[in-house]
Amino acid sequence: MTTERTVPVWSRVGLAGAVTAVAIGVGGMFGGRATLASAPARAMSVLAAQPGDVPAAIARDVARDEDGAENNPAADEFTQALYDSVERGFEYLKGQQNADGSFGRGRYGRHVGITALCALAFMADGNLPGRGPYGEQVQKALDFVITHGTETGLLAAETSHGPMYGHGFATLFLGEIYGMSPGDRRVRDALVKAVDLILGTQNQEGGWRYNPVPYDADISVTICEIMAMRSARNAGIKVPKETIDRAVKYVRDCQNADGGFRYMTHTGGSAWPRTAAGVASLFYAGIYEDDSIDRGLDYLMRTAMPGPDGRLSGQPHYYYGHYYAVQAMYLAGGERWQRWWPAVRDELISKQSSNGGWLDHHAGGAYATAMALIVLQMPKRYLPIFQKQ
């Protein structure tokens, strides 16, 4: 039985964003009072303003966000079918949690990254440790992730595959937990160590790769680390601006002439999942107006627009791609969000299994269901990471 609920739509900054702003104080988004990550970025954050210039900075920020989805919901964002789908997804996901608090089975059993994504899916509905109908699931996931933090800061269980993927998602999870509920000292300690590991493993090109060594890089791992650092910085953890600048340069160097992004900086074709990740990473680096973003968004609209035919559903990295694409469209706002949201919402609902979950044949049901639930709950506007700040 499903009970229709009222979903809050926060003010321009948002409840979580307001708390974050107070926690950070007036300073640069990624340290100091430098402007946002790259010269082509024309938008200026309130947090990067001089104390005496905050009203002017707010005016600029509001102007920048006029088209953003944060304050301009799409028509009929929520439907009863969406509510029903999410509730069924929650119940399926709850049943996928292992006794030790982890999520993931088989090849990806006891995986910190999948565990983090599942917890974020519950948090996207406002559940936190000790709060909400799925607060217990979030708490158990948190305990699992913290338990598997090493002295080096790496977050990984023994079955982890490509540990920097999992580390990035797990660090993002800790950043969101700490930003929304900063009472657990264990979370801060693990988060600081995890961020320090990210900072210390950036390679010369500016990116990251599967293992915590600064030798190689690809765009898919790099976006995981950029989101993790953004979440941590939102929660008040220091992240040097130069680290972000180098990461932005790496992402830019992966863009092709058609607007899409290749896997690494050397030659390669474009693909929509990594293009979605590339555009999202620029947004999370604090860049909101930029030719690279516009070209990437246009590429996504041309090649990956969801629809009733579900033409992309059989492609690799389907859920991964939509996870980042919906974030990119949400942050872009305007017509792109108005068109993208109902299309991806309806497509994902149509793909839900009778047991309430979604399935990725490579990474499993917990992973696919977590990704689908995060996408479907974007308009709830709960998680701080999805807000422009």
242 CB-side CA count, 13 A: 4
Nearest-10 crossing angle of helices 219-234, 163-180:
20
What Rg value do the Cα atoms of the chain yield, rounded? 19
Cβ neighbors of 52 (< 8 A, separation 6 or more) are none
When pLDDT is cut at 50, 70 and 90, the band that residue 7 belongs to is very low
Cα–Cα distance for residue pair 179/169, rounded to 1 Å: 15
Asked if residue 304 lies in contact with residue 344, where contact means CB atoms within 8 angstroms, the answer is no
Q: Per-residue DSSP letters for 9-32?
A: ---SS-HHHHHHHHHH-SS-TTST
Q: Quote the pLDDT of residue 112.
A: 96
At residue 143, φ and ψ (nearest 5 deg) are -60, -40
Taking CA 81 as the corner, what is the angle to CA 78 and CA 85, rounded to the nearest 5 degrees? 100
Q: Quote the pLDDT of residue 160.
A: 67
Written as six digits, the tokens of 182 are 């900063």
pLDDT at 5 over 90: no
**Above pLDDT 70, what percent of the chain?**
81
Nearest-10 crossing angle of helices 163-180, 112-123:
30
Cα–Cα distance for residue pair 35/179, rounded to 1 Å: 22
Tens digit of pLDDT for each residue in 235-277? 999 999 999 999 999 999 999 999 999 999 998 999 999 999 9
pLDDT at 324 over 90: yes
Q: Quote the pLDDT of residue 139.
A: 98
Query: Taking Cα atoms as reference points, which of 312, 309, 314, 283 lies closest to residue 296?
Result: 283
Domain extents in the chain: 15-386
Q: What is the DSSP letter of 265?
A: S
Thinking of the domain 15-386, which architecture would CATH place it in? Alpha/alpha barrel (1.50)
Q: What is the number of helices (H) and of strands (E) in the chain?
A: 14, 0
Mean pLDDT, rounded, of the chain: 83
Phi-psi region of 77 (alpha: psi -120 to 50; beta: other; left: phi over 0): alpha
Q: What is the DSSP letter of 256?
A: -
Q: What is the DSSP letter of 149?
A: B
Amino acid of residue 352: Q
pLDDT at 358 over 80: yes
pTM of the model: 0.83
pLDDT at 284 over 60: yes
Query: Taking Cα atoms as reference points, which of 356, 385, 363 lies closest to residue 95?
Result: 356
Cα–Cα distance for residue pair 113/36, rounded to 1 Å: 28
